[in-house]
């Protein structure tokens, strides 16, 4: 019974653990804080390793021929790319009309742009599988939206924010270098194991919850980083609250649109798949884009968005778990 309760509430437990972990460290005596740089270095190594392992385990469940585009992919790409472009043009127009003011308004619109163009989270396939969705479908979309993101950000951002000496191709290559190694390498490794080491592949398939458990650990670390960013932020409280509201609205809108589009192309499994593809975001990437290409204040929106989409995922997983227990004899 206790084990079932923990499994049903794994995400909120991980989120609370991450927040408590950082706050405990933050309020410890000053000498302990000297270990901060070492801990950050360890975290910078551990997080990518966890993501790599999680993706490797997920890709082991996908046949290469299953990775192909579907009609609903193009609708989601249109929603993300179109909304990002329209908001970018809106800021460009606003900057022409009011070149010296409206800083807060610009930050809020840029925050919305980050929430909308941000690619699908690498963990989306893990949650999609738990919810009974289409793993190859959400994985294919993750690849497609990363390519679109690498094209649109260098094309639109110069309209609203100078990029210094960086041209389109520099930014394009920099974005691809940021996201694709963690997508492609686990994929290739999984397919090598599938075809060269079938016994190991069979053993991996016998551990269906391993990727989810790894993600729970990764989530706690990500939330710890988010709490750190919020605690140390010098941003006015009212502006942070407005950014939180913008990220909440973007999160709700994208999950709703994803479910709507998915519903037009299939049953509940497609609603889940398209909803996760559009709503669950690679928020670490959003933070990086905020710092690298846009007004730095916008970077915090990625961390706040991760709270919203993980709370919604927690609710979905709990509802799915309760439904399964009712249906099962």
pLDDT at 86: 94
pLDDT at 42: 87
Which CATH number does 2-321 carry?
Answer: 1.20.1530.20
pLDDT at 327: 45
Over residues 40-62, the mean pLDDT reads 88
Query: Maximum distance among all alpha carbons in the chain?
Result: 66
pLDDT at 325: 47
Average pLDDT, the chain: 87
3-state secondary structure the chain: CHHHHHHHCHHHHHHHHHHHHHHHHHCCCHHHHHHHHHHHHHHHHHHHHHHHHHHHHHHCCCCHHHCCCCHHHHHHHHHHHHHHHHHHHHHHHHHHHCCCCCHHHHHHHHHHHHHHHCCECCCHHHHHHHCCCCHHHHHHHHHHHHHHHHHHHHHHHHHCCCCCCCCHHHHHHHHHHHHCHHHHHHHHHHHHHHHHCHHHHHHHHCCCCHHHHHHHHHHHHHHHHHHHHHHHCCCCHHHHHHHHHHHHHHHHHHHHHHHHHHHHCCCHHHHHHHHHHHHCECHHHHHHHHHHHCCHHHHHHHHHHHHHHHHHHHHHHHHHHHHHHHHCC
How far apart, in whole angstroms, are the C-alpha atoms of residue 316 and residue 216?
Answer: 15
pLDDT at 200: 92
Binned at pLDDT 50, 70 and 90, residue 82 comes out as very high
Q: Is the pLDDT of residue 223 over 70?
A: yes
Binned at pLDDT 50, 70 and 90, residue 319 comes out as confident
Q: What torsion, rounded to 10 degrees, do the Cα atoms 44, 46, 51, 52 define?
A: 100
pLDDT at 3: 62
Percent of the chain, pLDDT > 90?
Answer: 38
Binned at pLDDT 50, 70 and 90, residue 324 comes out as low
How far apart, in whole angstroms, are the C-alpha atoms of residue 4 and residue 10?
Answer: 10
Over residues 124-152, the mean pLDDT reads 91
pLDDT at 299: 87
Q: Is the pLDDT of residue 71 over 80?
A: yes
pLDDT at 77: 97
How far apart, in whole angstroms, are the C-alpha atoms of residue 296 and residue 286?
Answer: 11
Binned at pLDDT 50, 70 and 90, residue 328 comes out as very low
- The length of the chain in residues reads 329
Each residue of 272-295: pLDDT tens digit? 999 999 999 998 889 888 888 888
Q: Is the pLDDT of residue 323 over 70?
A: no
Q: Is the pLDDT of residue 98 over 90?
A: no
Q: Is the pLDDT of residue 113 over 90?
A: yes
Identify the residue whose tokens are 């790894």: 214
How far apart, in whole angstroms, are the C-alpha atoms of residue 59 and residue 75?
Answer: 24
Each residue of 244-282: pLDDT tens digit? 999 999 999 999 999 999 999 877 789 999 999 999 999
* Six-digit token string for 241: 């609250």
pLDDT at 74: 96
Over residues 211-240, the mean pLDDT reads 88
pTM: 0.88
pLDDT at 166: 78
Asked if residues 220 and 14 have their Cβ atoms less than 8 Å apart, the reply is: yes
**Of 93-97, 155-159, 161-165, the least confident:** 161-165
How far apart, in whole angstroms, are the C-alpha atoms of residue 75 and residue 145?
Answer: 11
- Residue 240 exposure: Cα atoms within 13 Å on the Cβ side: 13
Over residues 312-328, the mean pLDDT reads 70
pLDDT at 94: 81
pLDDT at 81: 95
Asked if residues 281 and 207 have their Cβ atoms less than 8 Å apart, the reply is: no
pLDDT at 239: 92
């Amino acid at each position: 019974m206790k084990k079932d309760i923990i499994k049903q509430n794994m995400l909120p437990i991980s989120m609370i653990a991450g927040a408590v972990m950082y706050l405990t460290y933050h309020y410890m005596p000053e000498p302990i804080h000297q270990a901060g740089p070492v801990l950050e270095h360890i975290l910078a190594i551990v997080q990518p390793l966890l993501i790599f392992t999680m993706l490797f385990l997920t890709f082991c469940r996908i046949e290469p021929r299953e990775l192909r585009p579907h009609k609903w992919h193009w609708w989601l790409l249109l929603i993300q790319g179109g909304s990002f472009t329209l908001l970018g043009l809106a800021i460009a127009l606003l900057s022409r009309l009011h070149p010296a003011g409206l800083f807060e308004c610009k930050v809020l619109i840029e925050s919305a742009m980050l929430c909308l163009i941000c690619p699908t989270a690498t963990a989306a396939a893990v949650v999609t599988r738990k919810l009974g969705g289409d793993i190859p479908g959400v994985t294919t979309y993750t690849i497609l939206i990363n390519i679109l993101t690498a094209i649109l950000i260098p094309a639109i951002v110069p309209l609203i924010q100078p990029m210094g000496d960086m041209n389109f191709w520099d930014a394009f290559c920099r974005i691809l270098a940021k996201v694709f190694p963690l997508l492609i390498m686990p994929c290739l490794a999984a397919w090598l194991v599938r075809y060269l080491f079938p016994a190991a592949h069979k053993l991996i398939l016998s551990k269906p919850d391993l990727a989810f458990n790894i993600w729970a650990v990764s989530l706690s670390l990500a939330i710890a980083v988010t709490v750190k960013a919020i605690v140390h932020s010098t941003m006015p409280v009212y502006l942070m609250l407005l950014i939180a509201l913008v990220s909440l609205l973007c999160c709700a809108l994208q999950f709703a649109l994803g479910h709507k589009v998915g519903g037009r192309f299939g049953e509940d499994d497609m609603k889940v798949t398209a909803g996760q593809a559009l709503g669950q975001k690679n928020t670490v990437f959003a933070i990086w884009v905020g710092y690298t290409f846009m007004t730095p204040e916008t970077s915090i929106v990625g961390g706040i968005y991760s709270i919203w989409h993980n709370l919604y995922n927690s609710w979905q997983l709990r509802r799915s778990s309760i439904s399964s227990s009712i249906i099962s004899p």
